[in-house]
C-alpha cells in the first residue's frame, strides 16, 4: 500500500517548540518511527512537510495521480481555518486520516474546531506521535491489508 503522510506548519519543529505539549522527540525521530512502520507493514510511506498552505494543497492533488492509496494529514494550525485544504482533501477519493499529537479538544477554544476533519474518514488526537502509527493501521485495515 502506498501512503502519504502530510505534516503542516511547525511540525518540523517537534522537540523544539512547546515541549510540554508536543513532547521532546524531534522530527527526525518521527520520521524514523514512520519508516520503521513502513518496513514492518510492507507499505511505501512518503512523508511530506510544508509550512505553506499551497504546497500542501498541491501535494494532496498530486496524490490523486501518483497511486497514493491513503493519506494521513496533520494540518497543524491550518486545521482550524483552511477551507482550501478541506476542499483539496474532499476532492481526492482515497481514505484520509487527520492526526494531531496533542488533544485539541483540551486546548484553546480556537483549536477545538477542525474544518479539515469533515473531509477525512477518521480523526485521531491526543495520542502523541504513536497516533501516526494508529492512522497507518486504520488505512491498512480499511484496505483489507
User: Does 101 count as an annotated binding residue?
Assistant: yes
**CA R_g for the chain:** 14
- Is 22 an annotated catalytic residue? yes
Cell of 97: 486520516
HSE-CB of 143 using CA atoms within 13 angstroms: 18
User: Does 80 count as an annotated binding residue?
Assistant: yes
Catalytic residue chosen out of the listed positions 86, 100, 125, 132: 100
What does the CA dihedral 32, 89, 123, 76 come to, rounded to 10 degrees? 60
User: Does 87 count as an annotated binding residue?
Assistant: yes
Distance in angstroms (rounded) separating the CA atoms of residues 122 and 24: 26
Catalytic residue chosen out of the listed positions 22, 78, 125, 132: 22
Distances (CA, A) of 51 to 6, 56, 79: 11, 8, 13
- Is 100 an annotated catalytic residue? yes
Q: Please identify every residue annotated as catalytic.
A: 22, 100
Residue list for the binding site? 74, 80, 87, 101-102, 111
Where is the binding site for substrate, in residues? 74, 80, 87, 101-102, 111
Amino acid at each position: 500500500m502506498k501512503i502519504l503522510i502530510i505534516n503542516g506548519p511547525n511540525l518540523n519543529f517537534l522537540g523544539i517548540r512547546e515541549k510540554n505539549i508536543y513532547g521532546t522527540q524531534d522530527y527526525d525521530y518521527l520520521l524514523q518511527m514512520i519508516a520503521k512502520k513502513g518496513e514492518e507493514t510492507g507499505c511505501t510511506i512518503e512523508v511530506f512537510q510544508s509550512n505553506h498552505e499551497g504546497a500542501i494543497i498541491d501535494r494532496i492533488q498530486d496524490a490523486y495521480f501518483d497511486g497514493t492509496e491513503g493519506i494521513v494529514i496533520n494540518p497543524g494550525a491550518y486545521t482550524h481555518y483552511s477551507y482550501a485544504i478541506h476542499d483539496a482533501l474532499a476532492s481526492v477519493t482515497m481514505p484520509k486520516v487527520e492526526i494531531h499529537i496533542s488533544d485539541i479538544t483540551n486546548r484553546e477554544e480556537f483549536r477545538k474546531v477542525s474544518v479539515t476533519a469533515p473531509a477525512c474518514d477518521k480523526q485521531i488526537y491526543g495520542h502523541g506521535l504513536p497516533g501516526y502509527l494508529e492512522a497507518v493501521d486504520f488505512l491498512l485495515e480499511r484496505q483489507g491489508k
